[in-house]
Structure 1
């Protein structure tokens, strides 16, 4: 099937599923073999010369994994995708492909906690990092140093779900000859395609919406053919954080319903967010799909839709009230991650990190929820009974 002018539904259901190649199997098989053999030594040497386009060893390319990579690259409007064993493996590979000792990375607003931890870890190798909490382009430019090589973005941002003006940031990056990476896990390729806004590399935690069933951990990296060839032979193969074929097969299965699931997450989340913004125990809801959101107009420009992850801030910022509210919920399970069929809840407030929250511009009364695929009226009733206890 041609990649041109395919709908998202056609991509996830048919692109790469070569029925003739796989003897008419409607679901492609799992290639569990660790290596591939050749008829002649000449053919083997030829494959060795271009391992990124030939089947040689599981650590490089695999037919099952390759089908999913083709689907994700097409969804993201990118040239190439590689799958990784976790979102952090993909993020680490992307960052390390652009920076070396003596260079600097600038990140914008709130980003995923482990990504910040990675930046802190890289300081031991002489790679420095600055986070600018503002989205204002002048302030972002003011934090660019002479040794800055990379701008790292997450939009919508972690916990607060603010929207970054991607064309504005990428224009600045190109002017300064910097590369850009974005974590697009919240929006998925269904609702946002950052490459079309000039971003160089897109990363995903495939554990979230892409798989959608909370049964695998994985990551994806999408970029140009030129960048990907370099990453393949260095950060991908040498660091070894590859996705096994069985996990890729599970990811393929989950992605079949990605467009349908994202519509359902959006419908549920919008109803929940509208309920919360009118609740007497809630002072603010952070969700770009609300017309009251500060970034609503920018979000309409950047996004094609809204996922099911949002946060709200209690009128009370006390840790005891945060804990009480979370413990009172019955349909929202307490746990990390998000993007599965189930609804989840947590808070960045652990009762001991008020200064850290303040520095990140996060209200201590903030509670994050992942709105799943359950009945939205049950979820709203559950939130209502928990909030009424305050």
Structure 2
């Protein structure tokens, strides 16, 4: 089954009760049993819910995995991965990553005895410098948030296999439409389904997808035991969003390209970060492991002027100044004071998250309107 068909039919079948084409919202906490332990596959909705099962099947299908898990948020999904570890274990992570992930790593799990090494992974060989006998997990974002750095998943997967450590890839920015990390050697794929998978800025959710049965069993146990699951209403909304993922992503990519090209030619703009540019670091890797280059674009103004950056985002009319990304509407953010404020300033600036950096989530509006909006705000 081709990807565009999978978004609509992958892992899905009509509801058994009445043939409903869309999985019903099973808004229930518990299920009747004919005898203790005698049920139809569902006993309590923290453990399983038919609407969530349908969504988890869809997640697995999109990423060419075998097992999907839905959580109450992207951070809850990452939290479940970290609960595979124990005190004394170590993690090698990319140094350019979502601020909430960095906060979870450093402010929560370091206190539980997990050690994190943050390194630039544009050259995969740097990872090996941080691996030792305690390393149990490599954490990758690609493209990264917000600098859109590209990491070679195949090369990192070879390192992970050589040292027998797990490789988890946050695929939120790319989505399975553009990139499928399990096919490239990853063990776990994570999504903030709040973003492109849901696609309409109306839910908060996380997803994990794996191929290995034993790894899936460990994660399902954590999901049930800790209880950070999504509700059936959100599962229904995510299923609806997934059905248009392929056509939305086409427009996100087209508009992202147009916006990046416009910004690159603007005299007041210093740097534009977008993986589709031939001079973007690791562009050739992006070209080989991604179908297209996505709708995320970051840029800095000349002179690294904080006040100018704030003025731009405050004066946008069609781009909305807001957290998050991946919805049908275009959003603008100031990472240093919003999504990445939890990362110390000196650490942010080492990776390029300077005070003038603006991150755009380019939506599916008309590209001419988006460019006109950027023009009036910058000029």
Q: Report whether the alignment pairs 1:142 with 2:129.
A: yes
What residue in structure 2 maps to residue 156 of structure 1? 143
- Distance (Å, rounded) in 2 between the aligned partners of 1:28 and 1:139: 46
Unaligned runs of 5+ in 1: 1-5, 48-53
Task: Confirm or deny: 8 A CA contact 2:336 2:355 kept in the other structure.
Answer: yes
1:354 offset after TM fit, Å? 4.4
Instruction: Answer with 115-124 or 25-34: which moved more.
Output: 25-34
Q: Report whether the alignment pairs 1:378 with 2:369.
A: yes
Q: TM-score, normalised by structure 2?
A: 0.94
Task: Confirm or deny: 8 A CA contact 2:11 2:60 kept in the other structure.
Answer: no
Task: Confirm or deny: 8 A CA contact 1:354 1:364 kept in the other structure.
Answer: no
1:39-90 CA-to-partner distances (Å, cap 9, x unmatched) read: 334635xx8xxxxxx3221011111111111111011011100100111101
- Distance (Å, rounded) in 2 between the aligned partners of 1:162 and 1:305: 15
1:110 to 96, 100, 103: 96
1:68 to 41, 52, 55: 55
1:218 offset after TM fit, Å? 0.5
Shift in CA distance, 298/30, structure 1 to aligned 2, threshold 3 Å: same
What residue in structure 2 maps to residue 227 of structure 1? 215
What residue in structure 1 maps to residue 10 of structure 2? 15
Q: TM-score, normalised by structure 1?
A: 0.91
The ranges of structure 1 where at least 4 consecutive aligned residues each deviate by more than 6 angstroms after the TM superposition are none
Unaligned runs of 5+ in 2: none
- Distance (Å, rounded) in 2 between the aligned partners of 1:180 and 1:19: 35
- Distance (Å, rounded) in 2 between the aligned partners of 1:130 and 1:16: 37
Shift in CA distance, 142/15, structure 1 to aligned 2, threshold 3 Å: closer
- Distance (Å, rounded) in 1 between the aligned partners of 2:312 and 2:194: 27
Q: Report whether the alignment pairs 1:346 with 2:341.
A: no
- Distance (Å, rounded) in 1 between the aligned partners of 2:292 and 2:31: 42
- SS at 2:332 equivalent: strand
1:31 to 13, 26, 30: 26
What residue in structure 1 maps to residue 116 of structure 2? 129
Task: Confirm or deny: 8 A CA contact 2:10 2:62 kept in the other structure.
Answer: no
1:201-252 CA-to-partner distances (Å, cap 9, x unmatched) read: 011001000010100000101012221111111x201211001111100111
What residue in structure 1 maps to residue 310 of structure 2? 323
Task: Confirm or deny: 8 A CA contact 1:210 1:254 kept in the other structure.
Answer: yes
Task: Confirm or deny: 8 A CA contact 1:357 1:364 kept in the other structure.
Answer: no
Please list, as runs of the form range in 1=range in 2, the aligned pairs for 1:143-222 lying within 5 A after superposition: 143-222=130-209
What is the number of residues matched between the two proteins? Answer: 373
Task: Confirm or deny: 8 A CA contact 1:17 1:26 kept in the other structure.
Answer: no
What residue in structure 2 maps to residue 257 of structure 1? 244
Q: Report whether the alignment pairs 1:119 with 2:105.
A: yes
- Distance (Å, rounded) in 1 between the aligned partners of 2:253 and 2:358: 19
1:20 offset after TM fit, Å? 6.1
1:355 to 346, 351, 356: 346
1:172-195 CA-to-partner distances (Å, cap 9, x unmatched) read: 111111111111000111111000
What residue in structure 2 maps to residue 3 of structure 1? none
- Distance (Å, rounded) in 2 between the aligned partners of 1:358 and 1:184: 24
Q: Report whether the alignment pairs 1:314 with 2:305.
A: no
Task: Confirm or deny: 8 A CA contact 2:201 2:327 kept in the other structure.
Answer: yes
